[in-house]
Amino acid sequence: MSNSDKDHPISIAAEYGQLEIVQFLRECRGVQINVVNKKRDTPLHLAAKNHHYRIVRYLILWGADEEARNSSKETPLVSAQMSETNTEQDKIEKDKIVNFLRSLAFSKDHNTRDEVIQPTKLTIDLDTCELLSHSDVHEIQPHARDDEAKSSKKVLKILNLGSNRKLHVAAKNGNVSMAREAMKDGADICYRHKQRSPYEVAQDAAAVYACKAQLNSTNNNDRRKLCAMALGCQQISDDILQHAQTQLDESIKQSNFALFVTYCEAGIPITPDLLYLACTSSDNVEIVDYLVKKDRTIYEAMYNYTTLDSPYHLAKKKKFNKVATYIKYHLTIDCTEAIKKNDVELVKQLIRAGSSVDLTNTNNIGEALRHRNDTLIQIICENGVKLPFEWLQLDSIVLSPAIEKHIGSDIAFTINRNLINRRLRLAAATGDFHLLIKCQRLGADIDSKTCDGSTALLCAVQNGNYFRIVHSLVSRGATMLHSNENQSMSLIELCNKKNFRVIEKYLKEQLNVQFAAAILDDDRHNATAFAAFGADFNYKDEQKHAPLYYAIQYHGIDLVSWLCERGSNPTSVDDNGDYPITLAAEKGKISRFV
């Protein structure tokens, strides 16, 4: 859709500085970033010549071609340089645009003698999630407690059979003092008499006495006696429960499966808290397996969790890999069933808990395509679902028209975006610059991530000394932050470790630039992360503008206050001799400085 001048909506929005409209249109199916009008101006040309700095940055981030030429043979950079300015602000924006577009050019003067020229060979299926086929659990039979006692002083042993019987009698009669004396003498709360533990005896007796006390035929004296016995039984069960829970916790912390099962089999209630404890105490998968099979509520706690992190992530952070793998496997089985049932919300919940979106023997993209649910397809694609190998090998990168027609245009649009982003990361990981640029021109999201949090930039640094790849990504706005939990180092630290000196130097130079860009976007989360890496709150760009200037120019008092509270200097001067307070006065935001 275009007007008489063949200007498309995204071109008009870019020309008139409508950033939010540009952002919205970019997400729409069929919208092209590099579309041209009658004069062959792209949206980037129009934004550049009209001094819309933020839109220029976003268009480049989304894959706009900075080398495209209009009918006058002008690139966007030339269009910006030749544009006229009417206000001081226009001049500032123009200078920023010119400097930004110039920074995209890769100088051959860079010291790149350490760079690997030949692309690395990697599997084309770089993005697929962790695929599990099974989870090993060794069947361990609980040993008799007296047998354990012979080999371990830590395990309680049966010291006195009389104390055990005494505890059972007290539990049945509600005799609290007798029960406590028996426990003090070493009575075993797991000892079973007539197939019942003392805890079960006390619980059953309390219920019987309470029931009898409520009968109309019971006289007052007997009722008082029965109530007292019921209360006594309940107190004994509470004492046993408290002691047993302590022992249960200790058995989990000691990774003692046999002792753990012995206490569980004593009739003691088990709760999801034990699962959280097991996932942070040891890599004992047998304990976790017993818990989730023993109680459905505990099984569901693998994804209906009350802790900040899921049980999977708790185990993962502790590097308890057997437990983590066990939980991931069972979550993925449930996720596969949820995909088959087209249950999008449950799929999202399971993924957050640590599920993969495929197993070695499943075809979940096929299941999702059967439902024709675009939302479900997008979720599992973003989280590393297996895609047909022939799709990953397409020279065109995107699906063929025949496949698009078969699966539908909306679903094809979703899958194509994922294919482009996957190929972008593969290009970065293999050092294939031409493929990288091709993906960018197709509108790749250069900050998109694999299911483990790896960006294209991280893939590049992890796999080779590809400075040109790094420069292409970073200069266009790719963030230096990543969320790969398996890679604890920052990109700068990783470059230092790998002795990628040129890349390390460049990333250090770009740290403050990315901090300023985060302020430009009012992204305080990323700004805080950059500050933690050493970004300077008073860094100045080519016009001597610190981040505080961006906050005043483009945003409001909240961001200005946030910066000043963290050390931004409100008295620094720019190239024009202006202070932040001057700009604030012009914008009507003087109150922060008064």
- How many domains, the chain? 2
User: How wide is the angle at C-alpha 522 spanned by C-alphas 458 and 55, nearest 5°?
Assistant: 80
Question: CA-to-CA distance for 295 and 162, rounded, in angstroms?
Answer: 34
Last residue of a domain, one of 236, 269, 302: 269
CA distances for 521 relative to 19, 484, 538, angstroms: 11, 23, 17
Q: Within this chain, do residues 81 and 151 fall inside the same structural domain, yes or no?
A: no
Whether the predicted pLDDT of 571 surpasses 80: yes
Q: Tell me whether residue 544 is in a domain.
A: no
Q: What is the mean pLDDT of residues 249-274?
A: 90
- The reported pLDDT for the residue numbered 19 is 95
| pLDDT tens figures, 277-298 | 999 999 999 999 999 999 999 9
Mean pLDDT across the chain, nearest whole number? 88
The answer to whether the beta carbons of residues 83 and 70 sit under 8 Å apart is no
Residue 480, domain member (yes or no): no
Please report whether residue 404 resides in a domain: no
Predicted confidence at residue 459, as pLDDT, reads 94
Which pLDDT score is estimated for 118?
54
Mark whether 192 and 79 lie in a shared domain. no
pLDDT per residue over 136-163, tens digit each? 676 655 544 444 434 443 334 444 558 8
Alpha helices, H only, 76-219: 76-82, 88-103, 145-151, 161-173, 176-184, 198-213
Q: Note the pLDDT of residue 29.
A: 86
Is 82 contained in some domain?
yes
* Same domain flag for 156 and 253: yes
Q: Do 76 and 24 reside in the same domain of the chain?
A: yes
Round to whole Å and give the CA distance between 30 and 32.
6
159/263 same-domain check: yes
Question: Is 456 inside a domain boundary?
Answer: no
pLDDT at 470: 97
Q: What is the pLDDT of residues 107-138, one digit of tens each?
A: 766 545 445 555 566 666 778 888 888 766 76
Question: At 229, which helix (H) or strand (E)?
Answer: helix 220-253
Contact 272, 246 (CB under 8 A): no
> Mean of the pLDDT values across residues 230-254?
92
Residue 76, domain extent? 9-103
Helix (H) or strand (E) holding 356: none
Instruction: Indicate whether 114 belongs to any domain.
Output: no
Model confidence at 65: pLDDT above 50: yes
Chain centroid offset of residue 169 CA: 55
354-397 residue pLDDT tens? 999 999 999 999 999 999 999 999 999 999 999 998 898 888 99
Average pLDDT of the segment spanning 217-238:
91
Is residue 219 packed enough to be buried (19+ CB in 10 Å), middle (13-18) or exposed (0-12)?
A: exposed
Predicted pLDDT of residue 140: 55
Task: Tell whether 99 and 184 lie within a shared domain.
Answer: no
Which tokens hold the place of 314? Answer: 């708790």
The token duo for 495 is 């470059």
Nearest to 517 by CA among 564, 552, 551, 557: 551
Q: What is the pLDDT of residue 151?
A: 41
DSSP state of 108: T
Statement to judge: residues 219 and 157 lie in one domain: yes
Highest-confidence segment of 181-190, 485-494, 498-507: 498-507
Mean per-residue pLDDT, 263-274: 87
Its sign, for the CA torsion 514, 520, 521, 525, is positive
3 state SS of 416: helix
Of 40, 69, 103, the residue at which a domain comes to its end is 103
CATH of the domain at 43: 1.25.40.20
CB 141 within 8 A of CB 265: no
In a domain, 516, yes or no: no
Q: How far apart are CA 524 and CA 545, in angstroms?
A: 18
Structure tokens at 467: 């400075």
Those residues with Cβ within 8 angstroms of residue 481's Cβ, 6 or more apart along the chain or in another chain = 526, 529, 530
How far apart, in whole angstroms, are the C-alpha atoms of residue 201 and residue 195? Answer: 10
How many percent of the chain have pLDDT more than 70? 90
Clarify whether residues 256 and 171 are in a common domain: yes
**Binning pLDDT at 50, 70 and 90, where does residue 186 land?**
confident
Q: Residue 146: its pLDDT value, please?
A: 41
Which residues in 383-395 are b (16+ Cβ under 10 Å) and which e? bbbbbeeebbeee
88 and 151 assigned to the same domain = no
Q: Can you give the pLDDT at residue 5?
A: 64
Lowest mean pLDDT among 3-12, 174-183, 265-274: 3-12
Closest C-alpha among 99, 36, 23 to residue 70: 36
Q: How far is CA 474 from each of CA 105, 455, 470, 481, 569, rounded to the nearest angstrom?
A: 12, 12, 6, 11, 27
Handedness of CA 107, 109, 114, 118 (dihedral sign): positive
Q: Would you say 465 and 497 are in contact if contact means Cβ atoms under 8 Å apart?
A: no
- Please compute the mean of the pLDDT values over residues 527-544 and round it to a whole number: 91
| HEC readout, 41-106 | CCHHHHHHHCCCHHHHHHHHHCCCCCCCCCCCCCCHHHHHHHCCCCCHHHHHHHHHHHHHHHHCCC
Residues 155 and 240 in one domain: yes
Q: What confidence tier does 587 reach under pLDDT thresholds 50, 70, 90? A: low
Distance CA 10, CA 478 (A): 22
CA-based R_g, the chain, Å? 33
| SS3 at position 111 | coil
Q: Domain for residue 46, yes or no?
A: yes
Strand pairing partners for 381?
Answer: none
The residue out of 240, 269, 298 marking a domain boundary is 269
* Chain centroid to CA 211: 53
Is there a single domain that holds both residue 149 and residue 262? yes
Instruction: Give the pLDDT band of residue 300 (cuts 50, 70, 90).
Output: very high
Residues 71 and 185 reside in one and the same domain: no
The answer to whether the beta carbons of residues 269 and 241 sit under 8 Å apart is yes
